[in-house]
Amino acid sequence: MTSNYALKNLVASGETPPLDSRHLIVVRASSKGGKGIFAKADIPRGTRIIAESPLLTVEVFNSVGKPKSDTRLSRDVLAAYNLLSGTKRRAYDSLHKYSRNSKIGDKAAVFVANAYEDGVYWLAARFNHSCIPNVHHIYNNGKKIRKRTFHALRDIKKGEELTVSYIHSEKSDRRARETELENWGFSCTCAACTNDSARNALEWKIAKLARFWKSPPRTGPASAKKSLERYEAMAVMSESAGLVGNSLAKCYRGCGKCSIALGDSNQVVKWLGKELEVMKYYMGDDHPTFQELSELLKSFKEILKTMEKRRKEPLSDTE
Ligand SMILES: [Zn+2]
């Protein structure tokens, strides 16, 4: 069985809408190297493109929370691989291998090159990296899903390559991103990582965001007014850099916290609403975190409404 055969069958299998929209994508050769995932049709912002279970899972941290040694990781990956079915082994073996440690072995090299936080996903392993990705991924542990889901962060045009960020782009300037991406043997050619002037302007914004997130301003009462201005400015910066996923949501969260410290209820509602709007796009409204925050906003609005009603009621005659 060729890897292309396995590829065709595994793309065809899996979820169908509304849980997944993999009919909108195609896997083919990418100019970034190897294979990539491309839009077969226009994909609107917020579309859940893939919902996938891992092909192979291995815990990458040891019992004291430190990354496992290469030897231990190799051994654990091999043990997990040996438990896979024949079809899954062939699918795993068809994935790209890379490790800076040449002694790590083929199975572990596939793991190192392709794993998300909790393991290797067969279809999602084909996403290439961009520091300004158009897809966000997150594990949805809701009872009806229990899969890693991949969402369009903005409208994606037919033929465009779909990318995720392997790193926290908003926290790293170009040099830091280059160093981190060496773990995947990846040299990024995204809009922020090359040298013409428009692209340099983009990198300037990301570097500014990176500095901001290194020591984000305090949101306590003493500094809330000034901090709110800074979080608002970073929200605008994040949006104009094209970082419209959790980077933007975190800025709105900061604005919300400052508004709480300032005791400005209407502003709290505004910022929570903005955060939720962004979260809906990048995680979906069936994600437990979205639902929790959504409930919180609903209760908060109800309390405000009751308080407003009481305020307007004429005072009763107590004499
Ligand atoms: Zn880049």
What is the pLDDT at residue 318? Answer: 52
CA 130 to centroid of ligand 1, rounded, Å: 5
Bigger pLDDT: 147 vs 5:
147
CA 174 to centroid of ligand 1, rounded, Å: 7
CA 169 to centroid of ligand 1, rounded, Å: 8
Q: Write out the residue range of the structural domain in which residue 7 sits.
A: 3-164
Domain check: are 107 and 255 in the same one?
A: no
CA 257 to chain centre: 22
pLDDT band at 170 (very low <50, low <70, confident <90, very high): confident
Residue 35 resides in a domain: yes
CA 304 to centroid of ligand 1, rounded, Å: 44
Domain check: are 135 and 13 in the same one?
A: yes
193: DSSP letter: S
pLDDT band at 191 (very low <50, low <70, confident <90, very high): confident
Cβ proximity of 102 and 67 under 8 Å: no
Domain check: are 225 and 145 in the same one?
A: no
CA 69 to centroid of ligand 1, rounded, Å: 28
Q: Would you put residue 275 in left (φ > 0), alpha (ψ -120 to 50) or beta?
A: alpha
- What is the Cα–Cα distance from 4 to 10, expressed in whole angstroms? 10
Mean pLDDT of the chain: 90
198: DSSP letter: H
CA 192 to centroid of ligand 1, rounded, Å: 5
CA 42 to centroid of ligand 1, rounded, Å: 23
pLDDT band at 2 (very low <50, low <70, confident <90, very high): very low
Per-residue pLDDT at 21 exceeds 60: yes
CA 224 to centroid of ligand 1, rounded, Å: 33
Per-residue pLDDT at 11 exceeds 70: no
- What is the Cα–Cα distance from 247 to 244, expressed in whole angstroms? 6
CA 8 to centroid of ligand 1, rounded, Å: 30
- What is the Cα–Cα distance from 144 to 225, expressed in whole angstroms? 42
**Both tokens of residue 70?**
């290469």
**Both tokens of residue 302?**
């109800």
Q: Torsion over CA of 97, 100, 103 and 105, rounded to 10 degrees?
A: -20
Which range (3-17, 49-63, 85-99, 134-148) has the least confidence?
A: 3-17
Domain check: are 46 and 137 in the same one?
A: yes
What is the pLDDT at residue 319? Answer: 47
CA 282 to centroid of ligand 1, rounded, Å: 20
CA 31 to centroid of ligand 1, rounded, Å: 14
Domain check: are 157 and 225 in the same one?
A: no
- What is the Cα–Cα distance from 160 to 132, expressed in whole angstroms? 14
Residue 78 resides in a domain: yes
CA 239 to centroid of ligand 1, rounded, Å: 17
**Last residue in a domain, options 132, 164, 196:** 164
Residue 85 resides in a domain: yes
CATH value at residue 73: 2.170.270.10
Q: Torsion over CA of 190, 195, 196 and 198, rounded to 10 degrees?
A: 60
Cβ proximity of 139 and 124 under 8 Å: no
What is the pLDDT at residue 18? Answer: 54
Per-residue pLDDT at 314 exceeds 80: no
Per-residue pLDDT at 210 exceeds 50: yes
Per-residue pLDDT at 135 exceeds 80: yes
Cβ proximity of 45 and 17 under 8 Å: no
CA 203 to centroid of ligand 1, rounded, Å: 9
Residue 183 resides in a domain: no
Percentages of the chain per state (helix, strand, coil), in multiples of 5: 50, 15, 40
What is the pLDDT at residue 34? Answer: 85
What is the pLDDT at residue 111? Answer: 94
Which range (76-85, 198-207, 255-264) has the least confidence?
A: 198-207
Domain check: are 32 and 107 in the same one?
A: yes
Q: What value does the mean pLDDT take over residues 6-19?
A: 51
- For 67, phi and psi rounded to 5 degrees? -60, 140
Q: What is the pLDDT of residues 247-265, one digit of tens each?
A: 999 999 999 999 999 999 9
> What's the whole-model pTM score?
0.89
CA 187 to centroid of ligand 1, rounded, Å: 8
CA 270 to centroid of ligand 1, rounded, Å: 33
Residue 169 resides in a domain: no
CA 188 to centroid of ligand 1, rounded, Å: 4
CA 243 to centroid of ligand 1, rounded, Å: 12
Q: What value does the mean pLDDT take over residues 212-233?
A: 96
Domain check: are 10 and 150 in the same one?
A: yes
CA 99 to centroid of ligand 1, rounded, Å: 20
Domain check: are 271 and 145 in the same one?
A: no
Q: Torsion over CA of 113, 117, 119 and 120, rounded to 10 degrees?
A: -40
What is the pLDDT at residue 186? Answer: 85
Domain check: are 128 and 225 in the same one?
A: no
Query: How many structural domains are present in the chain?
Result: 2
CA 191 to centroid of ligand 1, rounded, Å: 6
Per-residue pLDDT at 3 exceeds 50: no
List the alpha helices (DSSP H) in the chain. Answer: 3-12, 70-82, 86-93, 106-114, 174-181, 197-214, 224-240, 246-261, 265-283, 288-312
